[in-house]
Structure 1
Amino acid sequence: MDADLQPNLQSSLATGGEESPPRGCGVRPMTKRDIPIIAQLFSRTFRSHRSEVAPDLEGYLETVFFGSPHYRPEHGSIVYDGAAGNVASAILALPMEFTVHGRPIIAKLLCAFMADGKEGAAGAARLARQMRAARQDLCFSDNSSPVSADHWVAGGGAVLPIQSLEWHRTFRPLAAGAIAWSRYVPLSRSPGVLRFLGPFDGLLRRRRPSLAPAAAAGCRTISVSPDEFFRCAGPMMERFPVRPVWSKPEFDWLVSVAALNQRLGSLQYRTVIAEDGRVIGAFLFFGNKGREANVLNLLCAAGHEFDVTGQMLAHLDAEGYAQANGMAQPFLMNAISRQRWLSFKHRGYFCLVTRHAEIKDATLRNEIYFGGLASESWSRLLTDF
């Protein structure tokens, strides 16, 4: 999530970006005392210049950006103070622990890039330079605008084209269409409308049996606790040289803050069991019953991509969802692309910068894993306030 800063930002970089700021100006770590003004800046930047602040926005900002087990001032958000000592621009960042060929690093997920007026644009130029590749172990964003994507590349970064896509699998076309239209006509996703469309979707499903995904032969899906999901999913990530560490404290914290997003539904955990009793897959998703399932993380044992993908979609269909969606991942593209009634759409540019050659190499080889917990997919900053 970022503001469209291109005209003023480019001007600042070209003319005044390298000059020393007036006394009192400068880049520094964000503190809790900045939260009220950051909340106002967020509302003005991303909510059509609204001056009022949503009632619980300040508390949410503190929970997310100061609550991580890995939070340290040097790993967190940064702000630029203007000449009057006010915060003129800011980058909200969430620290996450990653492993790079067995070596732990602290990465940063950038969640919002904001600026206020001409002075804020000058500050944004200084903040942007802090995120250049030479300065960062790993810094990434999954929801960048085209303007920001260009700046990431100019700063030595890269755009990940596959992770910039979101897959959509339709199970009940009329209900899915009503949900899509709800951004223009909110009542179209009301329970009454969806119940009315149910029999017509049933007729369509009888005429088009391919709307129902085929379950993997011999596989079954079971609901599990967060602890069981954590135990099963961790080893499945080990085939990726660059991946989140998911220590138990960090995983528990991530799912606890993700679960605050009630608008996306309830956070649920499933594992996929093979015929011989082995756990071959695990997935984590938000479920709004009768509406949509937002898949955050889908993992599987190597070689079981087709079985786990098919079983997951069959399970979500059987639970009555109208549609399912999730972030595209290179290792799943072959399996997910074989599905009928599936489409892809651009979800925002997934960008990263790093000073480490081994991370760049893993990126080129598609040997890096992020997933929905390492993204803004769960954030209330995208759906509320």
Structure 2
Amino acid sequence: MAASHYAGDTGKGHMSANGRIRPMRPDDVEAVGKLFMQVFRQSEAPPSRALSDYFRLVCFGAPAYGEDVGSIVHEDAEGVVDGAITITPIRFVCGDMVLTGRELANYMADDTKGRKGATDLALTLRARNQDLAFSETARPVSADMVKAMGAVILPIQSLEWTRVFRPCGAVVRLMQRRGGVYARIPAMPLAKLGDLVATRVFKRLDPPREGVVAGPVERDEFVALAPQMVAHYGLRPLWEPAELNWLIDRAAERTRNGPLVLRKVTDGRGTVIGLAAYLGGPGMIANVLNILARKNREVEVIGALLALMDAEGNVAARGTAQPIQLEAMCRIPGMLFRHNAYSYVLSKHAAVVDAARRNDIYMGGLAGEGWSRLVSETF
């Protein structure tokens, strides 16, 4: 299990002159929700019931949850929660080790109380204290901080890829996401007309290779096959059925980008060579949580899946880059890449650090934070 400053104590937590750090309890949910509203929504409004219920679910409901690998809070000298790191545990495999990875979702502190409590919280993340901790949504200042504490920054996983299928529709959808007056303009019908012209000059995707077919997959088959698709990575999610089903359930609760769809890719022999999970549909920008491919089948899988997303009517698709898939992505005409947020790994285990430095790692989406409603919804 991942250790921290409070691991193995009797509930008193790690004491300092600034207060104490302890495991988050269910009765802390309201205080943590208030911090979330202050830090990430710039609002002094109390958290909604929906937000509090969601924090309770993601902080205490994961199959791998244990107090020693869960979220932590900082109390000031008066016992008031003035900082928190929300954590969802997800199990990973590295060599013969099964590790409970701590997915570090939200780092929050009340700046009006000074920075000492926030600093104490951050110091619990030192690599020497972690079996495995990781994030894929760090800001530059956070990336600098954890790098100083032994983190391995993952530059490729810090990139977001985008492939536009219908440029006019994609522009309209992006503007609608800004809200306000843009959300009320019924521009999609005009965009469809514009795309009739634009797609004639816009570089189209190559058709899938002969015999390669992408289409729906039953959830049970997806859950059974997903671990096989990442078995060649040095550090990879364990994805036992109970845990993967829980993560899929959470991803399905995200509706802003369209419904969750599960897809598979088969070759000419009928062998499943790839899987995908994404949120999308006609007129939507598909939010790709995961593209999974058997070793050396990345080009076929990615090409077939993007062609399917196009045929389904998505105006564009985007997701997080993966090192082993990067070459295949670069072969797709019109593929765009941009820095999104920093991804990193913290671990005291040499095998984990080595895998991360060699980019022999699969994380993100259903093995990261992409399933969470907190990344896209306002509550």
Global fold match (TM > 0.5): yes
Q: Deviations over 1:159-208 (max 9, x none)?
A: 10000001000000111112222344555466932122112101111233
* TM-score in terms of structure 1 length: 0.91
Mapping of residues 304-343 of structure 1, within 5 Å: 304-343=297-336
SS at match of 2:186: helix
- Count of aligned pairs between the two proteins: 365
Which residue of structure 1 aligns with residue 17 of structure 2? 21
Mapping of residues 254-293 of structure 1, within 5 Å: 254-293=247-286
The one-letter code matched in structure 1 to 2:305 is: M
Which residue of structure 2 aligns with residue 222 of structure 1? 215
Mapping of residues 127-166 of structure 1, within 5 Å: 127-166=121-160
Q: Deviations over 1:299-330 (max 9, x none)?
A: 11111111111000000000010000111000
Contact kept? 2:302, 2:329, Cα under 8 Å: yes
In the TM superposition, what is the alpha-carbon distance from 1:21 to its structure 2 partner?
Answer: 1.6
In the TM superposition, what is the alpha-carbon distance from 1:51 to its structure 2 partner?
Answer: 2.2
Distance in 2 (alpha carbons) for counterparts of 1:172 and 1:350 = 29
Mapping of residues 1-385 of structure 1, within 5 Å: 20-21=16-17, 25-119=19-113, 121-184=115-178, 186=180, 188=182, 192-208=186-202, 210-384=203-377, 385=379
In the TM superposition, what is the alpha-carbon distance from 1:238 to its structure 2 partner?
Answer: 0.6
SS at match of 1:339: coil
The one-letter code matched in structure 2 to 1:354 is: S
In the TM superposition, what is the alpha-carbon distance from 1:297 to its structure 2 partner?
Answer: 0.9
Which range moves more in the overlay, 66-75 or 50-59? 50-59
SS at match of 1:159: strand
Which range moves more in the overlay, 374-383 or 184-193? 184-193
Runs of 5+ consecutive residues of structure 2 not aligned to the other structure: 1-13
Distance in 2 (alpha carbons) for counterparts of 1:211 and 1:310 = 12
Considering fraction of residues, name the structure with more helix.
1
Distance in 2 (alpha carbons) for counterparts of 1:358 and 1:320 = 43
SS at match of 2:16: coil
Give the share of equivalent positions with the same residue, in percent. 37
Change over 3 Å in CA distance of 1:287–1:183 after alignment to 2: closer
Contact kept? 2:205, 2:332, Cα under 8 Å: no
Distance in 1 (alpha carbons) for counterparts of 2:225 and 2:39 = 41
Which range moves more in the overlay, 95-104 or 210-219? 210-219
Change over 3 Å in CA distance of 1:173–1:189 after alignment to 2: farther
Contact kept? 2:217, 2:262, Cα under 8 Å: yes
In the TM superposition, what is the alpha-carbon distance from 1:212 to its structure 2 partner?
Answer: 3.8
Contact kept? 2:281, 2:313, Cα under 8 Å: no
Change over 3 Å in CA distance of 1:20–1:279 after alignment to 2: closer
In the TM superposition, what is the alpha-carbon distance from 1:215 to its structure 2 partner?
Answer: 2.1
Distance in 1 (alpha carbons) for counterparts of 2:201 and 2:159 = 30
Contact kept? 1:179, 1:188, Cα under 8 Å: no
The one-letter code matched in structure 2 to 1:374 is: A
Contact kept? 1:157, 1:354, Cα under 8 Å: yes
Contact kept? 1:152, 1:352, Cα under 8 Å: no
Which residue of structure 1 aligns with residue 7 of structure 2? none
* TM-score in terms of structure 2 length: 0.92
